[in-house]
Amino acid sequence: MNDVLIHVENLKKDYDGDVVTTALSDVSFDIKRGEFVSIMGPSGSGKSTLLHILSFLDRPTSGTYSFSGKKIQDLTDNDLAFVRNSEMGFVFQAFNLLARQTVYENVELPLIYSETAVNKRKEIVENAIASVGLTEKMFMPAGKLSGGQKQRVAIARALVNNPPVIFADEPTGNLDSKSGLQVMQILKELHAKGHTIILVTHETYTAQYGERLIVLKDGFLEKDEPMKKILNKNVELK
């Protein structure tokens, strides 16, 4: 079995306007199943564009992107939507929860879209909520939770389809330091259970949870090294 989950080769992304803007240029790397990869870079470096392409929200202008052996250019939009819902989980800085719906209803949502049998949903949802320590909040409206609790609900929602890969986009950006550490600990535990974690962050302390660091600058891949090697050099993460 090929252990490469994500293969990116000579990836380029241009945005058309009065002037063509290049967001990514000649980016190449592989991510193996079960890796925890942190992606960093200054504002405008291309990390958000890269995340959108990796998570099937956008398509590259040129180059190759293969996910689990499937080339993105060979897939229809419906194919991409199916893979995205069944094989990818998402945790966003803004939580993206339905405020008036309960924790249970928010976590259940991906199962409804995936047409999981109703009689199977309850156990899956309850287990996901329990895994982030929010069983006692299960029937509380999401809008009444603290920021840290909302992010834990978002993680539970990302887990219900048991996706092989979880994309975390600045997951601690709206949280205080204590809540941020709790969220990162959950992601660390998910990685230990075999999930591939792809973290986009500007925060050094969260990036260091990864076992590998990819740094983008001006749309180019500036660095791709094991985190241990970087920390052993005592190099400041940027």
Is 50 exceeded by the pLDDT of residue 1? no
C-alpha–C-alpha distance, residues 197 and 21, integer Å: 29
CATH architecture label of 4-96+151-233: 3-Layer(aba) Sandwich (3.40)
Render pLDDT for 30-66 as a digit per residue (tens, 0 to 9).
999 999 999 999 988 999 999 999 999 999 999 999 9
pLDDT band at residue 238, thresholds of 50, 70 and 90?
low
Pairing of strands 70-71, 62-67: antiparallel
Contact criterion met (CB below 8 Å) for 157 and 109? yes
Within a 10 A sphere around the Cβ of 19, how many other Cβ atoms?
6
Q: Please give the model's pTM, rounded to 2 decimal places.
A: 0.89
The residue ranges of every structural domain in the chain are 4-96+151-233
Residue 216: its pLDDT value, please? 96
Contacts for 152 with CB less than 8 Å, ≥ 6 apart: 132, 133, 134, 182, 183, 186
Render pLDDT for 58-102 as a digit per residue (tens, 0 to 9).
999 999 999 999 999 899 999 998 898 889 999 988 888 999 999
